[in-house]
Structure 1
Amino acid sequence: MRAKYDDVATEYDEWVGAGSALDDAAFTELTGDVAGQEICVVACGQGREARYLAGRGAVVTAVDLSEKLLERARQHEETQPLGISYRQGDAHTLDGVGTDSFDGAVCHMSLMDIPDLDGALHSMARILKPGGWYVVSITHPCFKTPATGELVDHVDKSIKRTVGKYYAEGYWDGPGAHRSALPVGAYHRTLSTYVNTLTAADLTIDQLREPPGDTPIWREVPQLLYIKGHLSPARQEKRHD
């Protein structure tokens, strides 16, 4: 299967940046102290989050469908060796990634790009050790929908977010349209779809974060949603049946 990001790997790498520093307070807080932990980065792209976690002492395996992005990730690893193992693979199945293998799994700003949400979350659950944790982040499903916009109040000049087609789940081109080099689109889903699919995969939800952004409209409503949780005891019981 050819990855859409193969066509924009160079532009995406330049946009994201090579450094292992990750300026994302919510991600930093939710992943916490990862020193000595074995972590799988699902849909790792060009490896930014993998490098960040490895730089904090984690033993990192990173998986992505795009061989072109993995080439970039491996180039960064050669420049700054952190012991990251990069694998080409499909997030839907994580074939070749061992069951009960990882203390934690992360999927940072990628889950909305993956067509089969159920498959991806069940695969993340499969690779976690008993009691293992996960952190995922996505564009906020309530405020980044297939029909959104901004308007200025004619009285107080405040900026407001308009939202439409919230229930229109499926692929759309909107998220990348503002960057001509990265028109890869994404999959819109309702908040309840995310919550229910996590639950169906036996992934509990422990924390949610909706940090304010750095532009006027994203200081009014959240642009991103972060979720942290762990593998539920129910999954452990299923594995031993």
Structure 2
Amino acid sequence: MTEPPSSLEPVVSRRSVSGTQNRAASRSWWDADADGYQEAHGPFLGDVDLVWCPEGLREADARLLGDVKGSRVLELGCGAAAGSRWLDGQGADVTALDLSSGMLRQARKAASRSGVSVPLVQADALAMPFPAETFDTVHTAFGAVPFITDTEALMREVFRVLRAGGAWVFATYHPMRWVFLDEPSEAGLMAVNSYFDRRPYVEQDTAGVPTYIEQHRTFGDHVRSLTAAGFILRDVLEPEWPPGHEEVWGQWSPMRGRLFPGTAIFIARRPAAS
């Protein structure tokens, strides 16, 4: 999960929430936590770089998106939009979208620092303000997918804005990490949760209002939501923890990383026009 933006310990539960509750919690959380998140993780992510995951897999090395020169590319849940600025440098026509005004504020600060600006759009990933078949590629590194109640609707919306033959690449929590305690130490090696329990992780205030929500999907759930939307799944990457990488990020750590994956990256395409 993540650390709360305040010093108060959150009340944690596993329960159903509505899409409206989910959207409100995500917007307010990331607005409040944007500065702290960027302070903690900005040096690792960089201002002009596309880092897919805490394991440190970089697009400059992995090339999961292929040659983007001249392509229209959308980043969902862009945060400070470091990935979009890097893709801009590769010749892509980039748009970066996020629900949070706080994260987009950080994106503007990073643009000022780096001298690289890309168009920023504040919008809900389930109702993107773009015509159908606008983009050649849509991608996200831990944006949107883990935080949206209706995963199937998200996949359909991404399919809508992609052109025929377009790529959809998303990095998200590896489904098996849901089983373990959310700790980077040896305590995080204890399997305590059911893999099949899809109830979201919910942090709430004393009035019971959700303040932070993460959704769990099994591997099968992800595959079915992709194929139901019309995508062809091309590959799934499970990045290994690289030697010499000592960064601890939430529950990600060298100790856990050498034993089981913390990230899954799904690579799919909208079928080409017949």
Q: TM-score scaled to structure 2, two decimals?
A: 0.72
Q: Kindly indicate whether structure 1 or structure 2 has the higher relative contact order, using CA contacts under 8 Å at least 6 residues apart.
A: 2
In structure 1, what is the equivalent of residue 37 of structure 2?
Answer: 12
Unaligned runs of 5+ in 1: 153-158, 175-182
In structure 2, what is the equivalent of residue 172 of structure 1?
Answer: 201
Correspondence list, 1:76-155, <5 A: 76-94=110-128, 96-110=129-143, 111-145=145-179, 147=181
Rounded Cα–Cα distance in structure 2 between residues aligned with 1:16 and 1:115: 26
Unaligned runs of 5+ in 2: 1-22, 204-210, 246-253
Correspondence list, 1:1-241, <5 A: 2=24, 3=27, 4-17=29-42, 18-23=46-51, 24-25=56-57, 27=59, 28-94=62-128, 96-110=129-143, 111-145=145-179, 147=181, 162=191, 164-173=193-202, 184-213=212-241, 214=245, 215-233=254-272
Rounded Cα–Cα distance in structure 2 between residues aligned with 1:25 and 1:189: 22
Partner-residue secondary structure (3-state), 2:110: helix
Rounded Cα–Cα distance in structure 1 between residues aligned with 2:92 and 2:126: 24
Rounded Cα–Cα distance in structure 1 between residues aligned with 2:199 and 2:97: 24
Which amino acid in 2 is paired with 1:194? H
Which runs of at least 4 in structure 1 moved beyond 6 Å after TM superposition? Answer: 148-152
Q: Among all aligned residue pairs of Structure 1 and Structure 2, give the percentage whose two residues are the same amino acid.
A: 25
Q: CA RMSD in A?
A: 2.5
Evaluate the alpha carbon distance shift between residue 14 and residue 55 of structure 1 in structure 2; reply closer, same or farther with a 3 A threshold: farther
**What's the CA shift for 1:29?**
2.5
**What's the CA shift for 1:82?**
3.1
Going by fraction, where is strand more abundant, 1 or 2? 1
Which amino acid in 1 is paired with 2:201? W
The range that moved more, 117-126 or 1-10, is 1-10
**What's the CA shift for 1:145?**
3.6
Which amino acid in 2 is paired with 1:82? V
Rounded Cα–Cα distance in structure 2 between residues aligned with 1:60 and 1:151: 39
Rounded Cα–Cα distance in structure 2 between residues aligned with 1:138 and 1:164: 19
The range that moved more, 53-62 or 128-137, is 53-62
Q: TM-score scaled to structure 1, two decimals?
A: 0.81
Number of aligned residue pairs: 220
Rounded Cα–Cα distance in structure 2 between residues aligned with 1:149 and 1:13: 21
Evaluate the alpha carbon distance shift between residue 151 and residue 39 of structure 1 in structure 2; reply closer, same or farther with a 3 A threshold: closer
Determine if contact 1:37/1:59 at 8 Å carries over to the other structure: yes
Which amino acid in 2 is paired with 1:121? M
Partner-residue secondary structure (3-state), 2:133: coil
Evaluate the alpha carbon distance shift between residue 142 and residue 163 of structure 1 in structure 2; reply closer, same or farther with a 3 A threshold: farther
Evaluate the alpha carbon distance shift between residue 149 and residue 16 of structure 1 in structure 2; reply closer, same or farther with a 3 A threshold: closer
**What's the CA shift for 1:115?**
2.3
Deviation string 1:185-226 (CA, Å, 9 cap, x unpaired) is: 411111111110111111111011001125122112111000
Evaluate the alpha carbon distance shift between residue 104 and residue 164 of structure 1 in structure 2; reply closer, same or farther with a 3 A threshold: same
Determine if contact 1:172/1:187 at 8 Å carries over to the other structure: yes
Partner-residue secondary structure (3-state), 1:167: coil
Determine if contact 2:185/2:255 at 8 Å carries over to the other structure: no
Rounded Cα–Cα distance in structure 1 between residues aligned with 2:94 and 2:185: 43
**What's the CA shift for 1:103?**
0.7
